[in-house]
Amino acid sequence: MRLLITGASGMLGQDVAAAATAAGPEPIALARAELDITDAEAVDRVISGTQPDAIVNCAAWTDVDGAEAHEPDALAANGAGAGNLACAAAAAGAWTIHVSSDYVFDGNKRDPYVESDPTNPASAYGRSKLAGERAVAEAAAGAHTIVRSSWLFGAGGACFPATILRLAAERDTLSVVDDQVGCPTFTGHLAAALVELCEAPRPGLLHVAGAGQCSWFEFAAEIVAAAGLETEVRPVPTSEMPRPATRPTYSVLRSEREAPELPDWRRGLEEYMAVRVARR
């Protein structure tokens, strides 16, 4: 199997390439400099030239707050760009795996979101991710899997644990919001699931996120404890730390379908910390 990975220099893309190599598929890993998914002609040319069996789209606009001021740019990457890939993949007979987000929901539920729940994004970023889901579903028809995940973190890029570890080494006290709840998901775990879905495709929409749930405050406290630091982590409401983009207050994802099950987020944190230590 030949597996084309877009956004391959990013945090998730790096782990998908590693997971593919470990599992057997031949990865064709392309960074944005090698393939800009907003360029439809370039996408057609690369996919027709490489003839992959499956595509995992890890390319995305990920700046949640920046999308508020630059929504057209976020839509170009997360919406139209995703559609470009799915259209070219369908023409080449390749399966499309598209990664989406919990931010397509408004967060007003208080029990886990499943695939059949209605979407209602509360931010420009969320709207752009929902546009991508719709573009992929339309372009690739029955030859796609849309995977929604949540609160991604990994050793290959900037992420919440990395930020907390940096700040905790500089400060005696950290304030972290405790009224937003989700499922931290280690990209190493998600990557293996995405490769599995390439080898055994399941059409449609799937929720694949770390097991368990926590607030950002609880996540930060676990990170500080795992690092053996003495920094005090203080819970605060979102109202004390406003951001340009509205975040869902509750975005726990679970599946009502046969989706790959990921380990608990604490296990993901353990593996993340181990990778950080190994890379020093």
Give the catalytic positions in this structure: 125
CB 107 within 8 A of CB 251: yes
DSSP state for residue 181 in the 8-state scheme: E
Rg (CA), the chain: 18
Tokens representing 129 are 């991710």
The CB density around residue 278, as the number of other CB atoms within 10 Å, is 8
Rounded-to-integer distance, Cα 75 and Cα 186, Å: 25
CB 256 within 8 A of CB 115: yes
Closest residue by Cα to residue 166 from 204, 220, 119:
220
Rounded-to-integer distance, Cα 110 and Cα 258, Å: 23
Q: How far is CA 12 from CA 55, 62, 226, in A?
A: 14, 12, 22
Pairing of strands 204-207, 173-177: unpaired
